[in-house]
Amino acid sequence: KGSRKQVKRGQKEYERLADHIGLLPAVMISPYDMNLVTGFSEDRRRFMDGVIAQYDRAYLESLLNYNRLLSQRNALLKHMAIEGIRKSETLDILSMQMEGPAQHIYETRKAFLERLTAVFQDYYERLSGGKEQVSLTYQSHLHEKSQKEWLLEHTSRDLVLQHTGRGVHKDDLVFQLGEYAVKRMGSQGQQKTYLIALKLSQYALMAEIKKVKPILMIDDVFDKLDEHRVASLMKLIATEAFGQVFITDAHTGRLPAIFTQPGVDAEIYEVNEGAVKKPLTAES
């Protein structure tokens, strides 16, 4: 307790944990990821940041720099509000310093979504049987004005609220099913299909950019999916150019029935009370 955390690769210690990000590309789909679809904007920003940072070191540096400046600006706003200070040269300097990293973050996120959207729509169509129309929209204050313009215009408001109310730290992704928000109007199966299509799109994009197939981990996500969507997902993974895939499922017969088909290279294990049973077949 109280000691500094150490992260090593081999025998060499990282100076920063951020230096390890992206070394072993991996994509995981689990029930906990549903917050990406049904949760708050910070969950969707975390998704964008987590994906982009794995292949773009400059983006990660801009993000770390922006968050540092944002913390400093918020702390100064709180101090000014408590002390009754209405104007500060330091506040103006911080606002201007945030412009560079904010613009880089915005442009990188925008380009990322443009690449992701087409792949996502293709995966969703294949998982759902082409019965539903979906869309992704990037929502940002910087569509309208620069970070610096927003901050300088809203200084008085920020002083009252004691935090920075405009900027890329408020960005969001709008997920729609037809004309409606999927988190409000989508069924649980549609929401889960949306999540899976997003994650498979992440996989495809990372594989294309890094020229390495990530590890794909799918953890017990089949609940609320109808048989057609489950079969579409499994066949997609079995036949597409995916690398190493790990799948867990509480339904003991589903995976053997799919992955014991001719031409599918898979090993299936059953884990029961700590004991591992192998191999399983469709009749097991």
In whole angstroms, give the CA distance from residue 222 to residue 249: 7
Higher pLDDT, 56 or 262: 56
34 near 191, Cβ under 8 Å? yes
Where do the domains of the chain lie, and which CATH numbers do they carry?
Answer: 34-209 (1.20.1050.90)
Is the previous residue joined to 25 through a cis bond, with omega within 30 degrees of 0?
no
Model confidence at 19: pLDDT above 90: no
Average pLDDT (83-90) is 91
pLDDT level of residue 95 (50, 70, 90 thresholds): very high
Write out the H or E segment, with its range, that includes residue 83.
Answer: helix 57-83
Q: How many Cβ atoms are within 10 Å of 18's Cβ, its own excluded?
A: 14
Model confidence at 16: pLDDT above 70: no
pLDDT level of residue 253 (50, 70, 90 thresholds): confident
Higher pLDDT, 189 or 274: 189
| pTM for this prediction | 0.86
Model confidence at 184: pLDDT above 80: yes
